[in-house]
Amino acid sequence: MTFPDNFYWGAASAAYQVEGAYNEDGKGPGIWDALSEGHVKHRENGNVACDHYHRYKEDVALMKEMGLKAYRFSVSWPRIMPSEGVINEKGLEFYRNLVKELTDAGIEPMCTLFHWNLPMWLHEKGGWYCTKISDYFEKYTETVVEALSDKVSYWMTFNEPACFIGCGYVMGNHAPFEKCMDMEHPEEMAQKIALLSKNVLLSHGKAVQAIRRCAKKAPKIGMALNASLFTPENTSEESVEAARAATFSEQGAFWNLNWWADPMVKGEIPRAMKDVISGEEREIICQPLDFFGFNNYNTNDYDEYEGRNERAWPGMPRTAMDWPITPDALYWAVKFIYGRYGLPVLITENGMANLDFVMSDGKVHDPQRVEFLKVYLAGLKKAVGEGVPVIGYMYWSILDNFEWAEGYDKRFGLVYVDYRTQKRTRKDSSYWYAEVIANNGADL
Ligand code: BG6
């Protein structure tokens, strides 16, 4: 058994994390540009990042060297719409050039429309609280799709709404650094979360409609969700069902997958959002999708805050992010997702931060990452062997990059970036991954 012939072996990135050029060629400020000072480790920011905006040709050449079949990137909304009603042609030109470079190299471009850096002018209108934001998102989507859809077929509306709502508006550790978490007024908090989520869901639905309407070639549309994932403790059916039930919690909270995916895919609205979403809105949100994109790094069976840490043990393997290494994660993720939603799955992110540095031989040896990939991909392969349709795997990330509030210390890349010189060095894992791609996972 190997992966399907047309399996998309790829890697991912996001605009603010790699592009830099934060104020060039007509780009407007986004919430990360304007508000992150004082919120990021070592007072770092994404102003320059990997300078991918100027170095995309070199980066695509590295992808080609590795034999990547696909590259998942995101478009920066404030680069395209720097202020209300303004479309920045220069911004569109950058992405046109990028997708041309990719397709010329035989790499499938996969485009995420929103990966967190909301334009400041929209933030000033209330950001994700703004009741009109879905109309603005629809217009933005039309603009991007008109510009890129001669070459782009794969579209993802949102990256990790659980995270940009949860970290950005509930906990306040990501831009715009607002915190509505207030255990003394739980109803008010729940109401706010429901409204924020509704605006994201409506924006998703309108964007899917816009893509189908404007695309120049048949689009493949999905999203890139993340969520808590629980896995069985043993192979009994009971244990599997308990894990499934915990993953798709009946209570429905924004960190559960069903909070976002039930409305999007099944048109079913979780209880806590029922009062704020009308029947008509429900119809808009639930649009036919072509694939289910899922970002996953680990299961949540070992989290203290989930009260499940009895499964953890002192000194268990953890990445540089402190995230547990849980080899079965992708296996259960795609099985549970396909079982509930019936859509082909695309792993839109998976990977690890490691303590990488350039060694005295000039190379970056990262055996931990190779092992991580080996065990996670073996799980994915097992699920494929059991008949789950999986269309691709995007390693996070192609390059080391700006890890949001963590700054530049956490290195997820297949390619090492020296931020003083912008020199790129392929890590050992990138050579290993190239072999996996070349033999389509046969040796996993
Ligand atoms: C991505 C971010 O979408 O999610 C990454 O852009 C980040 O930089 C990752 O590491 C984190 O995912 P999660 O599921 O832990 O929120």
- What is the distance in A from the centroid of ligand 1 to the CA of 410? 12
- Report the share of the chain in percent with pLDDT over 90: 97
In this structure, the chain runs to a length of 444
Residue 250 is among the residues annotated as catalytic for this protein = no
| Statement: residue 304 has pLDDT above 80 | no
Where is pLDDT greater, at 208 or 314?
208
Atom of ligand 1 nearest to the CA of 295: 14
Q: What 3-state class would DSSP assign to 193? A: helix
Predicted local distance difference test score (pLDDT) of residue 307: 61
Predicted local distance difference test score (pLDDT) of residue 308: 67
Does any ligand 1 atom lie closer than 6 A to the CB of residue 346? no
Mean pLDDT score across all residues of the chain: 97
| Statement: residue 40 has pLDDT above 70 | yes
Contact call for residues 109 and 151 (beta carbons, < 8 A): yes
Each residue of 261-278: pLDDT tens digit? 999 999 999 999 999 999
In the block, which residue shows the tokens 């694939």?
A: 291
**Arithmetic mean of pLDDT, 101-105:** 99
- From the list 44, 101, 108, 160, the catalytic residue is 160
Does any ligand 1 atom lie closer than 6 A to the CB of residue 366? no
Predicted local distance difference test score (pLDDT) of residue 369: 98
Each residue of 373-428: pLDDT tens digit? 999 999 999 999 999 999 999 999 999 999 999 999 999 999 999 999 999 999 99
Predicted local distance difference test score (pLDDT) of residue 424: 98
Residue 160 is among the residues annotated as catalytic for this protein = yes
- The bridge status of strand 292-295 relative to strand 220-225 is parallel
| Statement: residue 303 has pLDDT above 90 | no
- What is the distance in A from the centroid of ligand 1 to the CA of 401? 12
Each residue of 47-81: pLDDT tens digit? 999 999 999 999 999 999 999 999 999 999 999 99
Please report which confidence band the pLDDT of residue 250 belongs to, taking 50, 70 and 90 as the band edges: confident
| Statement: residue 429 has pLDDT above 70 | yes
Angle at 33 between CA 27 and CA 38, to 5 degrees: 165
Contact call for residues 72 and 13 (beta carbons, < 8 A): yes
Alpha carbon nearest to ligand 1 atom 16, residue: 163
Does any ligand 1 atom lie closer than 6 A to the CB of residue 273? no
CA distance 109 to 76: 15
Atom of ligand 1 nearest to the CA of 412: 10
Alpha carbon nearest to ligand 1 atom 10, residue: 403
Predicted local distance difference test score (pLDDT) of residue 306: 63
Where is pLDDT greater, at 308 or 275?
275
| Statement: residue 305 has pLDDT above 90 | no
The gap from C-alpha 189 to its chain's centroid, in whole angstroms, comes to: 25
- What is the distance in A from the centroid of ligand 1 to the CA of 230? 18
- Report the share of the chain in percent with pLDDT over 70: 99
Q: What is the best residue among 18, 72, 167, 226 to mutate for testing ligand 1's pocket, by most ligand atoms within 8 Å of CB?
A: 226
Does any ligand 1 atom lie closer than 6 A to the CB of residue 403? yes
| Statement: residue 252 has pLDDT above 80 | no
Please report which confidence band the pLDDT of residue 310 belongs to, taking 50, 70 and 90 as the band edges: confident
All structural domains of the chain, each given as residue ranges with its CATH number in brackets, are 8-438 (3.20.20.80)
Does any ligand 1 atom lie closer than 6 A to the CB of residue 349? yes
Atom of ligand 1 nearest to the CA of 116: 6
C-alpha dihedral sign at 247, 299, 231, 311: negative
Find the range with the poorest average confidence among 121-135, 174-188, 215-229, 298-312.
298-312
Q: Which two tokens stand for residue 261?
A: 């995916």
Predicted local distance difference test score (pLDDT) of residue 311: 87
Does any ligand 1 atom lie closer than 6 A to the CB of residue 160? yes
Phi (first) and psi of residue 260, to 5 degrees: -95, -45
Alpha carbon nearest to ligand 1 atom 8, residue: 403
Q: What 3-state class would DSSP assign to 395? A: strand
Atom of ligand 1 nearest to the CA of 224: 3
Contact call for residues 352 and 325 (beta carbons, < 8 A): yes
In Å, what is the CA distance from 7 to each residue of 60, 193, 209, 211, 389?
19, 37, 27, 23, 10
Predicted local distance difference test score (pLDDT) of residue 1: 73
CA distance 382 to 348: 18
CA distance 108 to 397: 16
